[in-house]
Structure 1
Amino acid sequence: MQSILQYRRFGNLAEEQLATDPEKGIGLRNRNFRNIKDFSANGNGSKASVAGDEVSVVSSQDTLPNPDRPRETQEADKPPTNPSADPLNRSVTTEGGEDDTSDVSRAIIVGFEPENDPMNPRDWSFGKRLMVTIVVSFMGVIVGWSSSIDSGIIPQYAEEFGVSEVVASLPTGLFLVGFGTGAVMSGPFSETVGRNPIYIITLIVFMLLLVGAGLAQNLAGQLVSRTLAGIFAATPLACAGGTIADVWTPEEQVFAFPIYAIISFSGPVLGPVVGGWIGQSNLSWRWAEWVTLIGAGVILVIVIFFQPETYSPVLLKWKATHLRRVTGDDRYRAEIELRQTSLPARLLLAMYRPAIMLIQEPTVFLFSLYLTVAYIIIFTFFTGYEFIYEGIYGLTQGETALCFLGLATGLLLCIPLIPLNAKLRSRDITRTKETDPVGKATPESRLYWAMIGAPALPISIFWMAWTARPDIPFWSPLAASVFTGFGMLCIFITCYQYLIDTYGTYAASALSSLTLMRYLVSGAMIEVSIPFYKNMGVPYTLTILGCISAVLVPIPYFFYSSMMLFPTLALAAAFAGGTVALPTGDDAPFLKVVSSTEAIVGNSIWNATVGASVVKPIYYQGKEIVGDAKGQYYSYVDQTESFNFSNATIVDSDDDFIDVQFTTPEGEQHWVIYRNQHGAYQYFINKDLPSPLGEWRSVSRLDNATFTNGHTTYKQGALPELSEIVSGEKVQDETWELSDGSYITKYDWSDFINSAKAWGVYGDEIGCWYIHPSKEYINGDHLKQELMLHRESSSGDTVLLNMIHGLHFLTGEEHEFAEGRVWGPWLWYLNNGSVEDANAKYDEEVQSWPYSFPNADIEAGHHQRASSVIGVITLSDGRAASGASVMLGDNESSQLPTEQGANYYYRTTADSDGNFSFENVRAATYALYAWAGNNSDIGDVSTNLTANGIEISESTSAIDLGEYNWDIQNRTQIWQIGTLDRLACGFNNGCSGYHHGLSDESPADLEYTINSSETSDWSYAQTAEGTWQVKFELSDDPASDAVAILSTSLAGYSSGVNIEITAQGGNVTVGELSDLTNDASVYRSSTFCGVHRYEEFEVPAGTLVKGSNTIEFTVTKTSQWHGFMWDSILLEWS
């Protein structure tokens, strides 16, 4: 109800604003809106949960609301807005992804108003935001209550169903298991439809399942109902922290999250109190479910009638909907509407990533273990209190239940720590600002809660263990439980806030790891607790639990001391029985660890701050080169954020270099830094990249004023200005038409990546380049093209791309990558902007390949190579395969060489005698591929050679593969246009570089006469509806049964184009070319090729005659800039 009213208010507001700005309905085509940089997933500058669990989703910029105290977050905390934009939506922006091919690049992204926006939850009144917090806190109370209330009626439950008390504790244990699994899945749903629908739907289902549990007449029905109830009850815990982050700024969350934690934690503590008195009374144990049902019903009514929607992406979606309605401009979009990752994909990610992080991330594992032990202690009390207070002191079931109030009192003791923690946080911010004005307080300042409260947990458990005796009043263990509750909550708050700050955009996955482990283990321990207390006795059971918790107490102190007291410590890893030897001296390469998610690497020439997700700032010879741009990062298609790296570690070194490893669940990023090196070598080792995977890259987005020019093999000079892009009319994917009829497109900055030397961006003082001395780890064959650099169309960033697995001119084939797959090393090179120097550096690096790193312990395959692999290819007609393109690629593959990408690749060209040679080949199993190459002597050969099962082993001498016989077609040629080399070279405009719109020069109708017309009279691309005719003469009458074979070889193809092939004035149908897989080459500016297609068609006997003949190619369906790119047409007698 509240959400419906809220939606209507948004519509009314949009109409009111339109009334004050009537020109808005005309549209905004010519306006220049600035990009909202780093627009967060929830639209308000904070990081939103991916699969959150009780997530206070905050950034590491939390500060105090008191303006007299130091602040980490200023106005930059709010999304940047365009002050020149109109009143209706001052924060809209024309937004385009750097490699976008969707409608995103034509959209106007809506945002909140710069201040006092009634739509923005963070601009609501204090009272309204406090109400939202209290409501979600009490949702946590009721589901937490439900998790524990059944523990108070175990004896009555066991008696009715005729089972032991161990079995009777199963409903509580399975409810906790449901909590763990349900919490992982709740986040993605809430981030699709909003918080309120998920709260309401899951609460309703939860209540229905409570009815099922209350009415169950057998054990199985009760257990199923309770397990499912736990799954649906997890939503308030999983999403409540996100709601808090929606309405409170990071600085306010320092206060808001502990308050939420104190209130919501009272639920599982108070549940046994009510359950115990129900069990002792004359009421049925089923009233435990009915009481919970009543409480849940009250909460549900409050949520429906009073709780507003707070999830900003959904609110902005509502805003965009109303803007489209009132303006008639369909371009208004919220970011959530443009999200391309499907809900199933996000659910899968939410489920598998937490498990991976739990295994691979020591920080996640240690804090999960710590909180799990604390939960084990609390939840085993649900059954253990019976042995303590009933067994030792003889209290009744109801009186024993009241003893849980000691834990509740301990929760309240945390209240005074809230301002104290805020003061300590403020102190850390001040200290950070003194040394780095733009710095942030480290995540380690989140450890104060545990450092204050953690010792209370083992102390209280030991206290309870050895004073719970008949000769000591029960007040002693009861007092001990107060400190247990205090220590428990302190640990909880620290674990959550520390992991959130440490893992940034991966915080939700880290917290899901925390949730999975603690609830699954706690649920299992419920079953163990009764025999544990019964057989071991209270003192020894509690002593064991106290010892375990005591062992874990040093965790917060360890992290605080290692990161806060020694932030410049370079963490060196041990290997091969010894430790690495670090370089020394003023010019030595270095690693400075600032925190677990931030480190500075470099040498005396340059340095870069490697943050959790981006490398920024970067200094070269004293000048900062990123500016307001995004920085350097890794990303892959469908990932909205770049990778989050952590745990900077030196894994290899000698006196001249260090190899620094940054870890992430997907893999390991390495920087190899030498003394006096202008830049660094980089490589990446796969651990768990999504599979299958399409585009995968590293990107450098740099200051547009520093880097004004670009350099590829085919294009050099000034990058377009952002003002030029904005002034143009967008006509297709990242392409604009200017007023003079010319075009700007980022695809003009493409190249053949596997033959390119250095490519980069540069200005008057500084150049930034990517240099690959080997292309063995880059997908595709000799003809694989890639986008290399461009001007980002919304922010103006200068973008230098390193498409280590790219698909810009391919059909979109995705590949599976084995664990341990390596991309690199390549050189990220900085210089004075000299193109000549960059190319000379490329030549120098080629001579140095293969590098001595990575060492064999890091990646053994880098050193397991054959020094060379040689062989010779001859054609079946006796000719040498002169000039053939030859490649070692995927074994037993159905993909064309251009489309391959899962293996390592080696490419060469056969000499005039058909000999070929590959250098420094990794040991593996390959297939050998050969086809007619550019400028080869076999441009009439339409077939290709494939030889599978080539085993290459480590060898210091050449491996001779011997001679391969290439079986070619033995037909009599009638005529041929172009050569069969998979390129459009030789035709009009063919192989002339990258020029958008050049296909417009191709005629709709064309007449080509064999032996009269030149190859250049045939155009490289057929893109307009019309007919191209090939006319030729036959001097003799063909035999009556003579069948001709028409071979059509396409260099590229755009989807949605059909060609009908006919003969003799259209009287004879020869065939059709249509419905091929799109490779984007024609409409993305290439005049060379895309993905090769080859088709043969029979020209029926009797069709061709002595004298004049024609073959027609008629385009019957096309669209602008789409078409066929020709390689060769060959007519032969069969």
Structure 2
Amino acid sequence: MEKVITWSRRQWGLLVGCLGAILLVFFLLADHSGYHENTPSRRRVLWGRRVKGQKSLEVKLYTDINQLVMLDNGIVQVNFSIPDGHVLGISYNGIPDILDDHNRREDRGYWDVVWNEPGGPSIFERIEGAYFTIITQNEDQIELSFTKIWDISLRGKSVALNIDKRYILRRGISGYYSYAVFERLEGWPEVGIDQIRIVYKLRSDKFSYMALSDEKQRIMPTMEDRIHGQPLAYPEAVLLTNPANPLLRGEVDDKYQYSIENEVNKVHGWISPDPPVGFWIITPSNEFRTAGPNKQDLTSHAGPIALSMFVSTHYAGTDVRMNFEEGEPWKKVFGPIFVYLNSASSQNNPQQVLWENAKEQMLSEVGSWPYNFTESEDFLPSDQRGTVAGQLLVSDRYINENLMWAQSAYVGLAAPGEVGSWQRESKGYQFWTQADEKGYFIIKNVLPGEYNLYAWVPGFIGDYKNDTTITINPGGEVQMDVLVYEPPRQGPTLWEIGIPDRTAEEFYIPDPYPTLMNRLYINQPAEKFRQYGLWERYADLYSEQDLVYTINVSDYSKDWFYAHVTRNINNRTYEAATWKIVFELESVNIGYYTLQLALASANEADLEVRFNDASAQPAHFSTGIIGKENAIARHGIHGLYRFYSIDVASNVLQEGNNTIYLTQSRSRSPFQGVMYDYLRLEGPPEGY
């Protein structure tokens, strides 16, 4: 029978008072050999599994008089505060503490949540356990629980959630796992949640090199460099004026320059050059993240800081915050994520060696998902999950009379809702995959429950939703019929601007100001948009008049600015910009034309559309005030996708030259604006 030990803060105080001396002697006599070894054999690459010939040490647990518990498997040692559950220190491969011990105990490795009650201010709260429990303890694995219990006496002081933080250390594994169960009970008060994450603050004297992908790796500034730098227009952006590393002088540092889409954000971290050690956060599944695969979020940034983001409003705004009504029950498991440590010889490019190994470890963790060693009954193994499979085709007779394969379509299961609601959904789980070249898809390891199936297809506008509610049973397999998506279409294409891919990446992205560059992106055209201050380049390029785009003459990769922003007049005043699309019609047929308008992002914007009359009041079409995504200021190329199908009466068009006026009418700041994904003018339906 499993033995479970639970202590409250008060009980711990009594226990420590009685047994402190005994525990101290035990701790001092405990065998920690192997932690700080630096013999030649230990300098070999330690991939995170046992080195051949190395003793497979069992997992051990120690406590001491300073209210901490230490887990030790002979490879890595992790210290936690009791009963809070903060990570106080990590020892590995000759580094006695990987975390920055200059920070307070609760400010080294922790979970946090940002929340507010209706009408109240946002509250940042580190999640502190009130009870500590040993869930599993044997020679192969230890799982610890640090639990926060909410009651009405905590209203306004702590978020109305029960939270069970779990940590797992396993035998022979170079790292540890972390997950948490969040729960609300019936009758609890209304609350909104903007952020849930894990934060690790590493030693700045050791970890100076950050790696996010094959292309995005660099030596980073320190927090001191940022503190003494020059603040720029947005709070997170700083010009490095006198960094400790002179090679960084004159660069801009901004944590949002290192954001990544959830679908590819599986491993990121930091490297210490001496000794060569890597600290990595590996996320083997996106099922617990919010807002689908296209949602962007933070990764790592100057500090050095490594993040595991579960919930945030970054690049989406309050549309994706979790809002719980009075009395609404809820439960969700976030994680597990894997904190992985590796080391390498100091020869032969250790940074690349460590990064390549971290990617290998990531693939191993992805292949092991869902894990079968967690003890919480709320995290289900694969045999208690289900599978959905099918084929998606596309029907658009103006492109092809025959059905087309939905090649590389994004297909996913999310909570039942409206078309496209998945990108704003934040409370439930989502399960996504990409179809193959013939539109076949299989979605594995789906948790039991009810879902809608959603999709979007690169190269086609709009969103697909299957009308059937799909019920997933444990171990169940659902084979869908052949699914057919009919993207929005009223008539034949007269002209188009851009590529329907939900980003503004294909449009003209200017060169950055030479004095405001991040050198990481100088030779990376695919992410040129990550540079600071690009929004200001619009006024430089269009100083005399706003953008004019002429169909069949202009090139959208050169002549369509990536963001429709305000015009900077004198650094204090901004004015709305009106873009023009000029095109010719040989004739105008009686009936309705259609302007298909897809936006990749919006921030406190109101886009007005007029046809052949720049002063028409009201405008022929207006989006109304939309978006709080900040993709412009935060170096993104997309936020939330918005689609509008605009009817255009033939009496507002004319034979010969026509002009569409696009006015983003709000102009209080440089960061208000929209990013376009794709525009298409269609003629009246054939046979109208």
User: Normalised by the size of structure 1, how large is the TM-score?
Assistant: 0.46
Distance in 2 separating the partners of 1:885 and 1:1001: 34
Task: Tell me the residue number matched to 1:803.
Answer: 309
Corresponding residue number in structure 1 for 2:612: 1064
Closer, same or farther in 2 for the Cα pair 1:904/1:862, shift >3 Å?
Answer: farther
Cα gap change, 1:742/1:1111 in structure 2, threshold over 3 Å: closer, same or farther? Answer: farther
Q: Tell me which of 665, 668, 677 is aligned to 2:164.
A: 668
By percentage of residues, which structure has more helix? Answer: 1
Query: In the alignment, is residue 941 of structure 1 matched against residue 482 of structure 2?
Result: no
| Residue of structure 1 in register with 2:245 after alignment | none
Aligned to 1:755: 264
Matched to 2:307, the amino acid is L
Cα distance between partner residues in 2 of 1:820 and 1:563 = 38
Residue 903 (structure 1) aligned with residue 422 (structure 2): no
Unaligned runs of 5+ in 2: 28-54, 115-121, 150-161, 242-248, 344-350, 397-402, 510-525, 568-576
Q: Residue deviations 1:929-950, cap 9 Å, x none?
A: 11233xxxxx243353243521
SS in 2 for 1:898: helix
Q: Structure 1's 694 and 597: CA in aligned 2 closer, same or farther, altered over 3 A?
A: farther
State whether residues 861 and 923 of structure 1, in contact with CA within 8 Å, keep that contact through their aligned partners in structure 2.
no
Matched, 1:768 2:279: yes
Deviation string for 1:731-763 (max 9, x for gaps)?
Answer: 222112456985321111111123223111222
Identity %: 24
Q: Specify the code of the residue in structure 2 equivalent to 1:704.
A: S
Cα separation, 2, equivalents of 1:895 and 1:932:
12
Task: State whether residues 666 and 672 of structure 2, in contact with CA within 8 Å, keep that contact through their aligned partners in structure 1.
Answer: no
Q: Indicate yes or no: 2:662 matched with 1:1113.
A: yes
Alignment match, 1:980: 500
Q: Match of 2:321?
A: 814
What is the alpha-carbon distance in structure 1 between the residues aligned to residue 218 and residue 238 of structure 2?
19
Shift of 1:654: 5.3
Aligned-pair CA distance for 1:787: 0.9
- Show the counterpart of 1:850: 370
Contact 2:608 2:621 in 1 (8 A): yes
Q: Provide structure 1 residue ranges, at least 5 long, that are not aligned to the other structure.
A: 1-359, 365-442, 444-497, 503-555, 570-584, 792-796, 934-938
Number of the residue aligned with 2:548: 1007
What does residue 566 of structure 2 align with?
1024
1:860–1:844 Cα change, 3 Å? closer
Q: Could you say which structure has the greater relative contact order, defined with CA pairs below 8 angstroms and 6 or more residues apart?
A: 2
Q: Is the 8 A contact 2:290 2:427 kept in 1?
A: yes
Give the conservation status (yes or no) of the 8 Å contact 1:596–1:647. no
Q: Please name the residue that 2:98 is paired with.
A: 625
Give the aligned partner of residue 34 of structure 2: none
Asked if 1 retains the 8 angstrom alpha-carbon contact of 2:431 and 2:446, the reply is yes
CA contact (8 A) 1:608 1:618 kept: yes
Residue among 756, 760, 785 paired with 2:296? 785
Distance 1:661 1:993 in 2: 43
Report SS of the residue matched to 1:804.
strand
Answer yes or no: is 1:642 the counterpart of 2:126.
yes
The answer to whether the aligner puts 1:1096 opposite 2:640 as a matched pair is: no
1:680 Cα offset (Å):
0.4
Q: Deviations over 1:810-833 (max 9, x none)?
A: 122322595542111121111235
- 1:993 & 1:824 partners in 2: Cα distance? 31
After TM superposition, give the deviation of residue 700 of structure 1 in Å: 0.4
Does 2:390 correspond to 1:913?
no
Displacement of 1:777 after TM fit?
Answer: 1.0
Partner of 2:335: 824
Query: Which secondary structure does the structure 2 equivalent of 1:1013 belong to?
Result: coil
Whole-Å separation in 2 of the counterparts to 1:709 and 1:672: 27
Q: Residue 1046 of structure 1 aligns with which residue?
A: 595
Contact 1:652 1:658 in 2 (8 A): yes
1:65-214 correspondence to structure 2 within 5 Å: none
Amino acid at match of 1:1106: E
* TM-fit CA distance, 1:723: 4.5
Structure 1 residues 1129 and 597, CA gap change in structure 2 (3 angstroms): farther
* 2: CA distance, partners of 1:1072 / 1:741: 42
Structure 1 SS opposite 2:257: helix
Following the alignment from structure 1 to structure 2, what is the Cα–Cα distance between the partners of residues 975 and 625? 57
Match 2:416 to one of 853, 877, 891: 891
The answer (yes or no) to whether the contact 2:456–2:464 under 8 Å persists in 1 is yes
User: What pairs with 1:39-438 in structure 2 (closer than 5 Å)?
Assistant: none
SS for the counterpart of 1:644 is coil
Contact between 2:316 and 2:627, CA under 8 Å: does it hold in 1? Answer: no
Against the structure 1 CA distance between its residues 761 and 810, is the aligned structure 2 distance closer, same or farther, given a 3 Å change threshold?
Answer: same
Q: What code does the residue aligned with 1:870 have?
A: A
Is the 1:891–1:948 contact (alpha carbons within 8 Å) kept by the matching residues of 2? no
How many angstroms does 1:1117 deviate by? 3.0
Q: Does the CA-based 8 Å contact 1:685-1:823 persist in structure 2?
A: yes
Q: Is the 8 A contact 1:599 1:648 kept in 2?
A: no
Output the CA distance in 2 between the equivalents of 1:731 and 1:969.
Answer: 40
Cα displacement string for residues 543-570 of structure 1 (whole angstroms, at most 9, x for unaligned residues): xxxxxxxxxxxxx6x775567645769x
How far apart in 1 are the matches of 2:146 and 2:20? Answer: 16
Distance 1:613 1:850 in 2: 24
* Correspondence for 1:316: none
Amino acid at match of 1:672: I
Which residue is 1:659 aligned to? 143
- Aligned position for 2:231: 729
Q: How far apart are 1:1074 and its partner, in Å?
A: 4.1
For 1:969, what is the secondary structure of its paired residue?
A: coil
Q: Do structure 1's residue 698 and structure 2's residue 223 form an aligned pair?
A: no
Q: Deviations over 1:251-300 (max 9, x none)?
A: xxxxxxxxxxxxxxxxxxxxxxxxxxxxxxxxxxxxxxxxxxxxxxxxxx
Q: 1:907 to 1:914 in 2, by over 3 A?
A: same
- Contact 1:597/1:645 (<8 A) preserved: no
2:485 is the counterpart of 1:966: yes
Q: Which of 827, 831, 841 in structure 1 is aligned with 2:361?
A: 841
With 959-968 and 919-928 compared, the bigger mean Cα shift is at 959-968
CA distance in 2, matches of 1:559, 1:681: 28
| Whole-Å separation in 1 of the counterparts to 2:407 and 2:67 | 54
Q: Which amino acid aligns with 1:589?
A: V
- SS for the counterpart of 2:469 is strand
The number of residues matched between the two structures is 557
Contact 1:715 1:748 in 2 (8 A): no
Instruction: Check 1:921–1:993 CA distance in 2 against 1; reply closer, same or farther (3 A cut).
Output: farther
1:893 Cα deviation (Å)? Answer: 5.6
Residue 344 of structure 1 aligns with which residue?
none
The aligned runs of 1:546-557 (5 Å cut-off) are: none
Alignment of 1:442-453 (within 5 A): none
Pick closer, same or farther for the CA change 1:1070–1:742 going to 2, 3 Å.
farther
Q: CA deviation at 1:861?
A: 3.0
| Equivalent in the alignment of 1:1081 | 631
What secondary structure sits across from 1:845 in the alignment?
helix
The residue type equivalent to 1:661 in the other structure is S
Opposite residue 971 of structure 1, the aligned amino acid is: Q
Paired amino acid for 2:449? A
Q: Which runs of 4+ in 1 moved over 6 A?
A: none
Matched, 1:1132 2:634: no
- Distance in 1 separating the partners of 2:578 and 2:404: 37
2:439 partner letter: G
- The corresponding residue for 1:205 is none
SS in 2 for 1:879: strand
Deviations 1:81-117 (A, max 9, x none): xxxxxxxxxxxxxxxxxxxxxxxxxxxxxxxxxxxxx
